Structure 1
Amino acid sequence: MSLVTGIAVYIVLWWTVLFAVLPWGVRVPDKVAPGHAESAPERPRLLVKAAATTVLAGVLWLFVEWLATTDLISFRGP
């Protein structure tokens, strides 16, 4: 996998994992302040979720890189 392809795959994986990680540990407040959405989380912990996303996307990228280099699955045309 070339450098540009590797970076593109990592970015796609990162955003996909982010949307999977965002709902982790979300708690809505019991009392909602006026002007706030009822579904807004109390503590979104975005830095923790971004760190978890980075690690998980890295592990998934290593798996995709392994698949591409071992030719277990061929990504090239016939």
Structure 2
Amino acid sequence: MTLFSGFVTYLIIWWLVLFTVLPVGVKRQEVVEKGHDSGAPQNPHMWKKMLATSLISAILWGIAYFVITSGLIDIRPAAEAFN
């Protein structure tokens, strides 16, 4: 795995994890001010969610790196079948 492909893999994992972490702990506002959306979260805790996303993504990327570099999954034979 090259540096670029490792970085791209981390970014894809990070975005997927972010979208799964975003709805965790969301509470709606009880008193909605005029001009605000009634479904807007009261306190979204974005910094905590970004930190959790980064840590979970790092762990998942480490697992993906191990699987790819150890040869447990090799896509080269499948790619050669199309040539």
Q: Structure 1 length as normaliser, TM-score? A: 0.95
Partner Cα separation in structure 1 for residue 17 and residue 60 of structure 2 = 9
Q: Secondary structure at the match of 1:19?
A: helix
1:65 alignment counterpart: 65
* Unpaired segments ≥5 residues, structure 2: none
Tell me the alpha carbon deviations over residues 13-59 of structure 1, each in whole angstroms, 9 at most, x when there is no partner. Answer: 11110000000100001111110001100001100000000000000
Task: Check conservation: 1:68, 1:75, Cα contact below 8 A.
Answer: no
1:35 alignment counterpart: 35
Percent of aligned pairs sharing the same letter: 37
* Unpaired segments ≥5 residues, structure 1: none
Tell me whether 1:12 sits opposite 2:12 in the alignment: yes
**How far is 1:75 from its partner?**
2.8
**Size of the alignment, in residue pairs?**
78
Q: Which structure has the bigger radius of gyration?
A: 2
Partner Cα separation in structure 1 for residue 2 and residue 26 of structure 2 = 38
Root-mean-square deviation (CA), in Å? 0.8
